[in-house]
Amino acid sequence: MRNAKTGPRICFVGLANLPVLAREYGHLGVGGQEVQQTVLARALARRGYDVSMVVADYGQPDGATWDGIRTYRAYRPNAGIPVFRFIHPRWTSVWSALKRADADVYYTSGAGMITGLLAMFTRRYGRRMVVRIASNADCNPRTLMIQYARDKKLYRYGLMRAEVVLAQSVDQQRALRQHFGRESVVAPSVLETSARCMPFEDRDIDVLWVGNIRSVKQPKLLLKLARALPHLRFEMAGGPYIGDEALYESCKQEAASLSNLRFNGAVPFHDMRALYERARLLVGTSHTEGFPNTYLQAWAHGSPVVAFLDPDELIARNGLGRAVSDLDQMAAAVRDLLSDQAEWAAASERCRAYFERRADENAMLAPYIQAITPPSDTSAGLHAARHVG
């Protein structure tokens, strides 16, 4: 018989989620999909859902709970022998953790082999699967940022077999339909609503850049921007990305030669709020993402965004900063916004107002709750009847 918790049991599958969930592991790097999974999981747990997570093994106890969310360990990030570790420990340990979670619905995001593994698991045990798109690159087989052909096939297999696919934007929804023939539901990012918004004069970072240091985010452009605007104060926050370690070291060394740029390296997720509070502008140099969580965090603190990527033209349509197409335009937009405090204050107020409109939790959670709830919820005995074994 089902326990007194609300709705179906849901398990989030995000191997790098623990640093967002647990402050003591916050020194480890995370990306936007980990933030989104964890914020959503916390929101559902607060509403009484039975929530669990499958995460990597960082030495934490199996079954440990944070914020009402039980965690099940898979493999250590670097465990196993290359080539052979695809099966053991990666495939076998994730499968085992999924069984221990014993959920009704399994939720994952990001493109990779986990999507295919999860599809096989949920089909084997008669469970439901929800996939959320993490990046625009995940919507087209030609742009997938997946190294191995095997994993690309597994991702496609899982994407086509999920009960529900959630897209971050209308642009992603169209791309999925065009390139995969897959229908999806637009589910805007979930927000954490508590944020402090300081006036212009109380902020001491002119331009903030946040992200993992990887080629797709074009961090070197931030260094060029800092050189072009030597009178402004820049800060850069981001850790190394697997496979792009040389880029991290190069950015770190180059930043050391710039007197107006502070290179923070990896900053724990739980400490990032202090940087957003101090920043007058957030700059985004990536052309390929989903809906960056950095934008939402900046707008929550009243910081306009100057960026190349403008999902569904939100920046341009709502006056939330400036959408630009090249580095010269970016430099001009930064100069304009920071040289006119009245204009900056108006943009800051629009950012905060947009965030407040988006921050209604009932509206934010509605598409997610609909996705995890069976079409006709006659499944009161589902969990007990289909115990994984």
Interval 171-216: pLDDT, tens: 999 999 999 999 999 998 887 766 789 999 999 999 999 998 999 9
DSSP letter assigned to residue 66: E
Q: What pLDDT, on the 0 to 100 scale, is given for residue 129?
A: 98
- The neighbour count for residue 159, using CB atoms within 10 Å, is 21
User: Is residue 219 pLDDT above 80, yes or no?
Assistant: yes
Q: What pLDDT, on the 0 to 100 scale, is given for residue 292?
A: 87
Cα 291 to Cα 188: distance, rounded to the nearest angstrom: 8
What is the model's pTM? Answer: 0.81
Q: What pLDDT, on the 0 to 100 scale, is given for residue 28?
A: 63
Domains observed in the chain: 6-191+360-385 (3.40.50.2000), 200-358 (3.40.50.2000)
User: Is residue 298 pLDDT above 50, yes or no?
Assistant: yes
User: Is residue 50 pLDDT above 90, yes or no?
Assistant: yes
Band (258; pLDDT cuts 50, 70, 90): very high
Q: Phi and psi at residue 132, in whole multiples of 5°?
A: -110, 130
Q: What is the mean pLDDT of residues 17-43?
A: 85
DSSP letter assigned to residue 213: B
**% of the chain exceeding 90 in pLDDT:** 72
Cβ(133)–Cβ(167) below 8 Å: yes
Q: What is the pLDDT of residues 133-145, one digit of tens each?
A: 998 999 999 999 8
Cα 166 to Cα 146: distance, rounded to the nearest angstrom: 20
Cα 279 to Cα 259: distance, rounded to the nearest angstrom: 18
Q: What pLDDT, on the 0 to 100 scale, is given for residue 384?
A: 35
Of 39, 33, 35, 34, the residue nearest 51 (C-alpha)? 39
Q: What is the mean pLDDT of the chain?
A: 90
Tokens in use for 333?
């937009």
Q: What pLDDT, on the 0 to 100 scale, is given for residue 125?
A: 97
